[in-house]
Each structure stands twice: as C-alpha cells, then as structure tokens.
C-alpha cells in the first residue's frame, strides 16, 4: 500500500510557508446565482507563498532544487519564455539558497509591446540577480541551455539543467504531495471536492496532482485542466505520459488511464500567452468580486473555462469545485495595455 511518506525518500528543500489556504468564493457564488443550485466554489491559494512572489512552481522547485543540491550543483540553469514565472521563482530560490542562477529565455519572434520585454517577471528576474541569456534565432531554448551549461562546466561550475517549466517527474512530485494536502484540508472543512480546475502548460502540475490522487485512492478524472499552451491531443498525451512517469518514480504499479485525464483547449484562443476576451473578463470578475488577481496567461484562461462551464450547466447541484490558483500575477504588468483600455469613470 502506498503511503505519502514514500515522498520523504526524495531530497527536498523546504520552500513553502505551510499548507496554502483553501478559501470559499462566496461573493462570486452569489453573483453567479450558484447558491440556488447548491454549487460551492473554493480556491486553493497556491499563489499565496512568501518566497519570490509565490506560485505553483515553488512546489516543483522543492524537489528540483533538492535533487540539484543532492548532486552537488552550485548553479541552476532554467529555460522559459521572457515572462516565465518558473524562471522568476528559480531565481528567487537560488538567491535564498546562495546558488547561481542562469535563465535561458526565449523571446517571441513577432513584435512585442515594451511591457512584455521590460516589465513583469523580467524586472523581478533582474532584481533577483539572475544571469539572463536571451536565446538567439536559429537555436532552441533547450539547445542553448545545454550550451550555457557546458560553458559553465568549463569555467568550473557544477550546473544543474532544469526541464521546461520544472515539469520533470521529480518536479511533479511537488503536486503529488499537494493532492494529499488538498484531501486533508477538504476533509477538515467537512467537504469532499467533486471537481478540481486548473491550467495546464507544461503539464507537470496536472500530472503530479493526478499521480497523487491515484496514490491517495482518488479518481484523477475529477480534475479538469484547461490547456494554455498546446492543442488538446498534445497536452493530453504529455500529461498521461508524465503522470505515468511520476507513478513509476514513486515505485507504484498503478497504470495511468488516459480516460482519467481531462483536458480542454477551449480557452487556448490563438495560442500561448495571447490574450482572449474571456480571459480578460475572468480576470476582471475575480478581482471585482473577490479582490484576487488571476494571471493573464494561465489562471485567467483556466478560470474563464470554469466560468463558461458554470454558465453552460456543466456542473450539477451539490458540486464542490476547487480552483487551483497557481500564481503568476507579475504577468499582469507584461500585459498592462490589455487592462488599461477600460473606459475611465467620471
Ligand atoms: C502561474 C502558472 N500557472 C500554471 C502554470 C502551468 O503549470 P504546468 O507548466 O505545470 O502545467 C504555470 C507554468 O508556467 C504558471 O507559471
């Protein structure tokens, strides 16, 4: 029988303050007329951690940096987009632990607003003292990161290269642990969650959570993810594969069933990081009813999906829905122009 103590065998650094809070969204429930249907909404505040501005990636970094230190690394090399939240949090964790941090960042080829290159996470990465390398044209971020790591090794450093978004099986262990955290917290609230909604980018959060649910004896089919990066089929295949890899890493004989992984790409719009009207409406609604900031790239799109499912009658009476708030609010400042076009009040 699997016990959550199995996760204790993996090297880990402690980066979270405590269990992140689960809060009820009562004003939003009222605004949407949910009390009449006996539907309740909760948020798991994984954006709510002190280190580096918080966010889902801290859970992954607990195991990734634990592994890096175990292997004697003195430098962490992370790959991401210019506005990567994972890059910002890697830089913050390295600062706290006294490690060198090299960020290999890809820039979109099409013209981008000044805010995108010079605001949000880019500002924070610089404040945190990360070494920033912009990927030149003609080479992938991954290839360039390997070149940077080789250069660092020649200089006598011991670099540890992290997978995109920290979504390696080791990183995803953080969310396997989170599945147990959610289960315990909901039980303490006297509730049983019937649906968990979250964004899916590089799939590690979803895969880790799904693996943890299998191990906790729960059905991961109650998770619904909204892809913000890849079309549904690609995101689905990647998530099933990663879930299986996490189960294997944990020595479990459980087989991930593709039917248990539910992903929609209805909120993807024109692609990764490209704003949609539904995302903007979701960011506004969450802020104006609950005072909480969703990010425009991940949480905003996933929450738009939840709002759409609620209005189309996808959820039944008695449902208890938990939305995973994954952080990323610095991204708002990279998209400032999309939120400044509201008419001014008289
Ligand atoms: C704020 C935020 N939410 C969600 C995600 C998606 O997580 P994953 O890449 O594990 O699917 C990311 C990934 O970068 C993120 O930064």
H/E stretch holding 148: helix 141-154
pLDDT of 248 higher than 60: yes
Choosing from 3, 84, 111, 253, the catalytic residue is 84
Number of domains in the chain: 2
Q: Cα 69 to the chain's mean position, in Å?
A: 23
101 bridge partner residues: 76
Kindly give the number of the ligand 1 atom that is closest to the alpha carbon of 175.
Answer: 10
- In a mutational test of the pocket of ligand 1, which residue from 47, 297, 305 has the highest number of ligand atoms less than 8 Å from its CB? 297
Domain final residue pick, 166, 196, 230 = 166
Q: For residue 200, how far is its CA from the centre of ligand 1 (angstroms)?
A: 6
Q: How far apart are CA 173 and CA 38, in angstroms?
A: 34
Q: What are the beta bridge partners of residue 161?
A: 77
195 φ, ψ to 5°?
Answer: -155, 135
- Comparing 345 with 227, the larger pLDDT belongs to 227
Q: Ligand 1 centre from 221 Cα, in Å?
A: 20
147 located within any domain: yes
Instruction: Provide the total of helices (H) and of strands (E) in the chain, helices listed first.
Output: 13, 10
- CB distance 75 to ligand 1 below 6 Å: no
Which of 166, 195, 210 is the C-terminal boundary of a domain?
Answer: 166
pLDDT top residue among 102 and 341: 102
Ligand 1 atom nearest to 327, measured from its CA: 1
Q: Are residues 179 and 279 in the same domain?
A: yes
**107 flagged as catalytic:** no
Residue that terminates a domain, selected from 166, 198, 226? 166
For residue 120 and ligand 1, the question of a CB distance below 6 A is answered with no
Phi, psi (rounded to 5 degrees) for 202: -95, 10
Average of pLDDT values for 234-244? 98
Question: Rounded distance, CA 59 to CA 99, Å?
Answer: 18
- Contact 40 CB / ligand 1 (< 6 Å): no
For the chain, percent of residues with pLDDT exceeding 90: 91
At a CB cut-off of 8 Å and minimum separation 6, what does 100 contact? 74, 75, 76, 94, 131, 157
- In ligand 1, which atom is closest to the CA atom of 295? 1
| pLDDT for residue 3 | 64
Task: Judge if 23 and 86 occupy the same domain.
Answer: no
Q: What is the residue range of 82's domain?
A: 57-166
75's tokens: 């430098």
Q: How far is the CA of 56 from the centre of ligand 1 (A)?
A: 7
Beta bridge partners of 104: 79, 133
**What is the mean predicted confidence (pLDDT) over 22-48?**
98
Q: Report the atom number in ligand 1 closest to the C-alpha of 172.
A: 10
What is the overall mean pLDDT for the chain? Answer: 95
Specify whether 28 is located in the same domain as 66.
Answer: no
| Ligand 1 midpoint to CA 85 (Å) | 8
User: What does the angle CA 52 – CA 68 – CA 127 come to, to the nearest 5 degrees?
Assistant: 30
Q: How far apart are CA 125 and CA 307, in angstroms?
A: 33
Cα 181 from Cα 184, distance rounded (Å) = 5
Q: Is residue 135 part of a domain?
A: yes
CA angle 199, 202, 207 (to 5 degrees): 75
DSSP letter for each residue of 21-47: PEEE-HHHHHHTT-GGGT-EEEEEETT
Q: Verify that 230 and 330 share a domain, yes or no.
A: yes
Q: Does 17 share its domain with 140? A: no
Q: Contact, 65 vs 97, CB < 8 A?
A: yes
Q: Which residue, judged by its Cα, is nearest atom 9 of ligand 1?
A: 202
The answer as to whether 273 is a domain residue is: yes
Phi then psi dihedrals of residue 225, to 5 deg: -105, 145
The whole-number pLDDT of residue 2 equals 60
pLDDT digits (tens, 9 = 90+) for 110-125: 667 788 999 999 999 9
Q: Count CB-CB contacts under 10 A for residue 4.
A: 17
What contacts 326, CB < 8 A, 6 or more positions away? 46, 47, 55, 56, 198, 199, 205, 295, 298, 299
- When pLDDT is cut at 50, 70 and 90, the band that residue 108 belongs to is confident
Closest by CA position to 292, among listed 92, 15, 54, 36: 54
Centroid of ligand 1 to alpha carbon of 99 (angstroms): 23
Q: Note whether residue 346 is domain-resident.
A: no
Partner residues linked to 225 by β-bridges: 198, 263
Strands 22-24 and 40-45: antiparallel
C-beta 298 within 6 A of ligand 1 = yes
CB of residue 208 inside a 6 A radius of ligand 1: no
From ligand 1's centre to the CA of 326, what distance in Å? Answer: 7
Please compute the mean of the pLDDT values over residues 97-102 and round it to a whole number.
98
Q: Give the start-end residues of each E strand in the chain.
A: 22-24, 40-45, 75-81, 100-106, 131-134, 159-161, 195-200, 223-227, 262-264, 320-325
Q: Both 85 and 113 in a single domain?
A: yes
156: CATH: 3.40.50.1100
Q: Which of 53, 224, 298, 300 is the best mutation target for the ligand 1 pocket, counting ligand atoms within 8 Å of the beta carbon and taking the most?
A: 298
Q: What is the pLDDT of residues 288-303, one digit of tens each?
A: 999 999 999 999 999 9
Closest ligand 1 atom, residue 328 Cα? 1
Taking residues 163-172, what's their average pLDDT? 93
Report pLDDT for 346.
Answer: 54
Q: How far is the CA of 7 from the centre of ligand 1 (A)?
A: 22
pLDDT of 1 over the 60 cut: no
Contact yes or no for 300/280 (Cβ under 8 A): yes
Residue of 204, 205, 296 best suited for mutating to test ligand 1, as the one with most atoms within 8 Å of CB: 205
DSSP-based three-state secondary structure for 100: strand
Overall average pLDDT of the 225-231 stretch: 98
């Amino acid at each position: 029988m699997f016990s959550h103590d199995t996760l204790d065998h993996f090297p880990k650094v402690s980066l979270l303050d405590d269990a992140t809070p689960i809060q009820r969204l009562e004003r939003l429930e009222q605004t949407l007329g949910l009390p009449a249907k006996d539907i309740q909404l909760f948020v798991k505040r994984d954006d709510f951690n002190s280190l580096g501005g918080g966010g889902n990636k801290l859970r992954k970094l607990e195991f990734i940096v634990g592994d890096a230190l175990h292997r004697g690394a003195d430098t962490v090399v992370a790959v991401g987009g210019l506005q990567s939240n994972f890059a910002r949090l890697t830089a913050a964790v390295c600062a706290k632990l006294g490690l060198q941090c090299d960020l290999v960042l890809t820039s979109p080829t099409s013209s981008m607003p000044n805010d995108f290159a010079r605001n949000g996470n880019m500002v924070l990465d610089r404040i945190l003292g990360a070494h920033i390398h912009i990927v030149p044209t003609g080479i992938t971020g991954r290839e360039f990161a390997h070149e940077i790591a080789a250069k660092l090794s020649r200089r006598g450093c011991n670099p540890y290269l992290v997978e995109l978004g920290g979504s390696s099986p080791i990183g995803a262990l953080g969310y396997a642990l989170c599945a147990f955290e959610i289960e315990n917290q909901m039980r303490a609230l006297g509730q049983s969650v019937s649906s968990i909604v979250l964004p899916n980018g590089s799939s590690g959060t979803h895969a880790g959570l799904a693996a943890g649910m299998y191990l906790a004896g729960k059905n991961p089919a109650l998770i619904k993810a909204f892809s913000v990066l890849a079309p549904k089929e690609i995101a689905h295949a990647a998530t099933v594969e990663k879930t299986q890899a996490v189960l294997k890493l944990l020595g479990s004989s459980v087989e991930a069933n593709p039917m248990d992984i539910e992903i929609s790409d209805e909120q993807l719009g024109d692609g990764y990081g490209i704003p949609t009207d539904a995302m903007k409406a979701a960011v506004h609604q969450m802020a104006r009813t609950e005072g909480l900031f969703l990010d425009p790239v991940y949480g905003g799109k996933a929450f738009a999906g939840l709002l759409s499912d609620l209005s189309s009658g996808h959820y039944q009476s008695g449902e208890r829905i938990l939305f995973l708030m994954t952080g990323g609010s610095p991204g708002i400042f990279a998209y400032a122009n999309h939120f400044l076009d509201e008419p001014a009040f008289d």
